[in-house]
């Protein structure tokens, strides 16, 4: 049954309670006190992630959230260094989540999990997820971790991933770029910048530092010139990039950079044509207003980041937000419906 028109939330995490092995490497970081052996199955946060149709939906009804796009929580496939295991996790996760969404498609949709060890395999699984399972795009948890020691990283701005971005453009679905923790192998290596500074890990600092690098790399790589209809979404008010866009453009447009840069345009151009942002976990009125002024209201969308932040906190902020009504409706729901082609009335 459809809900009254309300907010649409796009970065909302879930987990299959029968498939938690991928969390073992980061269990102690995202769920303190958890052990790698049980992957925090009985931890309160894991139980919130596993719940879709009960307490989550009850809170959505109580607070005025009309619809959620669900995705498997970080690190997902990006934290699995073995290619075969990562591909298996993607397939199983997508099948499970599609079945859960089918129980209540008026309130929930899904973003696909993808192993990014191979651009071609990622493209094939995205095609299956969109065409066969009815998903509305994909969510990637930053770079793909690789190597036996977990210290390798594959970013998606290289020619190896052109086949993937070509498929994204062909399917006309967005890719949500999401942060994640480093692998334990990366964290424990002598070269790790975070190893002796674990207090920096997570959403306060490390998430936006790591993912903003990847977003800058994508924007400057020429990917959006080759595939100009590709659409990428970044949460947490664009991982801080809109607040640095003037300076980034200023230096990227200097003659020495223009003569050698891979992209035709500057960062600001791509944030107005190819990259959208959401308010997930970033309930700052002044921050959102700044972003609207910097990249345009059509590039800004609402999100919560549940269960890492609460539905009530996000909705209380949103209900009291003093934006012009047309902007508020656009950010709350209309932009998301158009970008993700959601089956909801504008």
* Per-residue pLDDT reduced to its tens digit, 178-203: 999 998 888 888 889 999 999 999 99
Give me the catalytic one of 157, 305, 309, 326.
305
User: What are the residue boundaries of the structural domains of the chain, listed by start?
Assistant: 8-340
Regarding pTM above 0.85, the answer is yes
Q: Which of 61-65, 75-79, 190-194 has the lowest mean pLDDT?
A: 190-194
Q: Are 281 and 235 in contact (CB under 8 A)?
A: yes
- Strand-pairing partners, residue 137, are none
What span, in angstroms and rounded, lies between the C-alpha atoms of 291 and 279? 10
| pLDDT tens profile 283-341 | 999 999 999 999 999 999 999 999 999 999 999 999 999 999 999 999 999 999 999 99
Q: How many helices and strands, by DSSP H and E, does the chain display?
A: 17, 10
- Strand-pairing partners, residue 238, are none
- CATH class, 8-340 region: alpha beta
What span, in angstroms and rounded, lies between the C-alpha atoms of 219 and 242? 13
Q: What pLDDT shows up at residue 33?
A: 54
Give the start-end residues of each E strand in 112-260: 138-141, 144-146, 152-154, 175-178, 232-234
| pLDDT tens profile 20-62 | 887 876 666 655 555 554 546 668 888 999 999 999 999 999 9
Give yes or no: 82 in active site.
no
């Amino acid at each position: 049954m459809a809900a009254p028109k309300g907010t649409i939330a796009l970065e909302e995490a879930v987990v299959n309670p029968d498939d938690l092995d991928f969390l073992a490497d980061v269990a102690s970081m995202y769920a303190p006190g958890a052990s790698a052996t049980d992957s925090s199955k009985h931890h309160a946060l894991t139980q919130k992630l596993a719940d879709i149709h009960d307490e989550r939906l009850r809170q959505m009804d109580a607070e005025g959230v009309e619809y959620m796009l669900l995705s498997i929580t970080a690190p997902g496939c990006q934290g699995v260094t073995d290619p075969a295991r990562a591909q298996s996790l993607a397939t199983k996760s997508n099948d499970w989540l599609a079945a859960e969404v089918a129980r209540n498609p008026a309130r929930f949709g899904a973003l696909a999990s993808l192993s990014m060890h191979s651009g071609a395999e990622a493209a094939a699984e995205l095609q299956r997820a969109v065409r066969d399972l009815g998903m509305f795009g994909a969510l990637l948890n930053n770079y793909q971790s690789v190597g036996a020691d977990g210290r390798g990283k594959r970013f998606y701005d290289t020619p190896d991933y052109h086949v993937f971005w070509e498929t994204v453009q062909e399917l006309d679905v967005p890719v949500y770029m999401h942060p994640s923790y480093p692998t334990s192998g990366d964290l424990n290596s002598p070269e790790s910048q975070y190893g002796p500074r674990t207090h920096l890990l997570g959403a306060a600092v490390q998430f936006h530092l790591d993912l903003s690098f990847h977003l800058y790399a994508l924007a400057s790589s020429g990917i959006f010139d080759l595939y100009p209809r590709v659409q990428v979404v970044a949460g947490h008010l664009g991982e801080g990039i809109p607040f640095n866009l003037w300076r980034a453009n200023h230096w990227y447009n200097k003659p020495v950079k223009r003569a050698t840069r891979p992209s035709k345009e500057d960062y600001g151009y791509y944030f107005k044509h190819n990259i959208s942002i959401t308010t997930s976990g970033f309930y700052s009125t002044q921050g959102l207003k700044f972003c609207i002024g910097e990249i345009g209201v059509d590039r800004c969308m609402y999100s919560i980041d549940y269960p890492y932040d609460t539905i009530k906190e996000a909705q209380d902020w949103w209900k009291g937000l003093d934006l012009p009504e047309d902007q508020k409706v656009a950010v709350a729901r209309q932009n998301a419906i158009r970008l993700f082609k959601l089956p909801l009335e504008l």
